[in-house]
């Protein structure tokens, strides 16, 4: 039984605790903490876990085999570095850290440790539809990939959502997904700004990203965060002799009164619910079997940060922005997940 300590018992922390205590096998949550001591106490009491005053105390707890970091982004670096220093596997929700420099410090610490301990929460790699799409691509069914068209549409975003989050919080999921899908890095980004939606308030919404992959595949990503009708994630790969796209996800299609209707998920929780379960079960199984994670690595967290920085630069300048990565440590050879 893998014993987990959770740092940050907010929205997604509580959701991951629910899946680890009620849905998944081979795992138990033994310790929690949160800067909001009241929330931590409540969550800890509900599952019989020890409540610690700090994240460092969770990591040091002898009853904690592995750590889950679900606190706010700016605090991730310190807990991931402390977990590496303690030699404990750590699952960190995205972002790995909020700057490329901080991600690189984590990459350096893990490379110095000499084996993988860090996994980053990019859950699209665990979604059935994306996995099936990658299988079709890897089997050569549509020939060599040439382009991918993506759309990331949110019905709405919370009031604390700021302009740059369209790239750093939203498009970053596509940024990670295409690196994994095509097994290659992004070499440059451009951002075009279409006519502004009147639903978007002060935001520049929608945005249109163009990502150039190292293998010359071109990816376009529509980011619309006030689309109103629901949460809609699309992806279509155009190959040399065919196309493959994410299917509609509903098991039932209704036709009535001269109309055909497919349900649309309300938000990302509904759309990716099963992917989070698979993500955590595979993480737990890998740690239990081998002591090391096999999913998105610290390098993936770093590459996503540098790529989204380039997209931000492109948004501000209106120009093509190159993605420049440092040399990849040997530890990260091969494509995970
Ligand atoms: N993979 C995904 O799709 C996905 C989805 C949602 C959130 N996230 C990520 O998960 C993280 C948390 O997001 P959330 O929506 O749960 O936020 P939230 O605000 O609901 O919860 C964060 C919690 O962390 C606590 N916290 C902050 N600093 C802390 C510290 N130093 N030590 C201990 N606790 C601390 C806060 O008090 C809060 O309870 C963010 O990095 C976010 O980007 C990822």
Q: How far is the CA of 302 from the centre of ligand 1 (A)?
A: 19
Q: How far is the CA of 198 from the centre of ligand 1 (A)?
A: 30
pLDDT, tens digit, for every residue of 256-270?
Answer: 999 999 889 999 999
Residue pair 105/281 in contact by the 8 Å Cβ criterion: no
Residue pair 170/223 in contact by the 8 Å Cβ criterion: yes
Q: How far is the CA of 192 from the centre of ligand 1 (A)?
A: 30
Q: Is the CB of 93 under 6 A from ligand 1?
A: yes
Q: Is the CB of 209 under 6 A from ligand 1?
A: no
The DSSP bridge partners found for residue 66 are 4
pLDDT, tens digit, for every residue of 47-94?
Answer: 999 999 999 999 999 999 999 999 999 999 999 999 999 999 999 999
Q: Give residue 334's pLDDT band: very low, low, confident or very high (50, 70, 90).
A: confident
Domains of the chain: 2-123+274-298 (3.40.50.720), 125-266+303-322 (3.30.360.10)
Q: Which residue has the tokens 């740092």?
A: 7
pLDDT, tens digit, for every residue of 224-265?
Answer: 999 999 999 999 999 999 999 999 878 888 999 999 998 899
Residue pair 160/231 in contact by the 8 Å Cβ criterion: no
Residue pair 4/49 in contact by the 8 Å Cβ criterion: no
Q: Is the CB of 34 under 6 A from ligand 1?
A: yes
Report the C-alpha gap between 160 and 165 in whole angstroms: 10
Report the C-alpha gap between 31 and 276 in whole angstroms: 21
pLDDT, residue 335, reads: 53
When pLDDT is averaged across residues 295-301 and rounded to a whole number, the result is: 98
pLDDT, residue 205, reads: 97
pLDDT, residue 337, reads: 45
Residue 227, phi-psi category: left (phi > 0), alpha (psi -120 to 50), beta (remainder) = alpha
Nearest to 208 by CA among 149, 163, 125, 268: 149
pLDDT, residue 249, reads: 78
Residue pair 118/106 in contact by the 8 Å Cβ criterion: yes
Residue 134 has pLDDT above 50, yes or no: yes
Report the C-alpha gap between 2 and 47 in whole angstroms: 15
Report the C-alpha gap between 103 and 274 in whole angstroms: 28
Considering Cα of 123, then 127, then 129, then 132, what sign does the dihedral take? Answer: positive
Residue 325 has pLDDT above 80, yes or no: yes
Q: How far is the CA of 293 from the centre of ligand 1 (A)?
A: 21
Instruction: Please choose from 5, 11, 308 the residue to mutate so as to test ligand 1's pocket, defined by most ligand atoms within 8 A of CB.
Output: 11
Q: How far is the CA of 80 from the centre of ligand 1 (A)?
A: 14
User: Tokens for 55?
Assistant: 């994240």
Q: Which residue has the tokens 């690595």?
A: 297
pLDDT, residue 248, reads: 83
| Helical spans, DSSP H, in 95-171 | 100-113, 128-138, 165
261 vs 207, residue with greater confidence: 207
Residue pair 65/4 in contact by the 8 Å Cβ criterion: yes
pTM: 0.96
Question: How distant is the alpha carbon of residue 42 from its chain centre?
Answer: 27
Nearest to 310 by CA among 319, 297, 294, 323: 323
- What residue's CA is closest to ligand 1, atom 1? 121
Q: Is the CB of 296 under 6 A from ligand 1?
A: no
When pLDDT is averaged across residues 299-307 and rounded to a whole number, the result is: 98
Q: Is the CB of 16 under 6 A from ligand 1?
A: no
Q: Please state whether beta strands 242-245 and 2-7 pair in parallel, antiparallel, or not at all (unpaired).
A: unpaired
Q: Is the CB of 71 under 6 A from ligand 1?
A: yes
When pLDDT is averaged across residues 264-292 and rounded to a whole number, the result is: 96
């Amino acid at each position: 039984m893998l014993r987990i300590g959770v740092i940050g018992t907010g929205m997604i922390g509580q959701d991951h605790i629910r899946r680890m205590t009620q849905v998944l096998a081979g795992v138990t949550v033994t310790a929690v903490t949160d800067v909001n001591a009241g929330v931590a106490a409540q969550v800890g009491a509900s599952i019989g876990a020890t409540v610690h005053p700090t994240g460092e105390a969770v990591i040091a707890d002898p009853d904690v085999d592995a750590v889950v970091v679900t606190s706010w982004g700016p605090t991730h670096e310190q807990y991931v570095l402390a977990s590496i220093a303690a030699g404990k596997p750590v699952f960190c929700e995205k972002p790995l850290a909020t700057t490329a420099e901080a991600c690189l410090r984590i990459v350096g610490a893990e490379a110095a440790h000499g084996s993988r301990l860090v996994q980053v929460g990019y859950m699209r790699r665990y979604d059935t539809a994306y996995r099936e799409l990658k299988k079709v691509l890897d089997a050569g069914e549509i020939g060599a990939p040439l382009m991918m068209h993506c759309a990331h549409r949110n019905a709405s975003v919370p009031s604390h959502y700021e302009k740059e989050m369209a790239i750093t919080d939203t498009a970053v999921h596509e940024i990670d997904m295409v690196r994994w899908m095509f097994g290659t890095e992004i070499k440059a980004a451009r951002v075009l700004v279409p006519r502004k939606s009147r639903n978007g308030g002060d935001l520049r919404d929608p945005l249109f990203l163009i990502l150039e992959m190292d293998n010359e595949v071109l990816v376009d990503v529509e980011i619309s965060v006030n689309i109103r009708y629901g949460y809609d994630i699309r992806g279509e790969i155009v190959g040399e002799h065919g196309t493959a796209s994410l299917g509609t996800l509903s098991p039932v299609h209704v036709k009535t009164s001269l109309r055909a209707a497919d349900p649309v998920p309300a938000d990302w929780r509904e759309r990716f619910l099963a992917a989070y379960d698979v993500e955590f079960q595979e993480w737990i199984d890998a740690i239990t079997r081998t002591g090391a994670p096999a999913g998105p690595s610290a390098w993936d967290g770093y590459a996503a940060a540098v790529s989204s920085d380039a997209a931000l630069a492109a948004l501000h300048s209106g120009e093509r922005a190159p993605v420049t990565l440092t040399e990849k440590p040997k530890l990260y050879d091969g494509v995970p997940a």
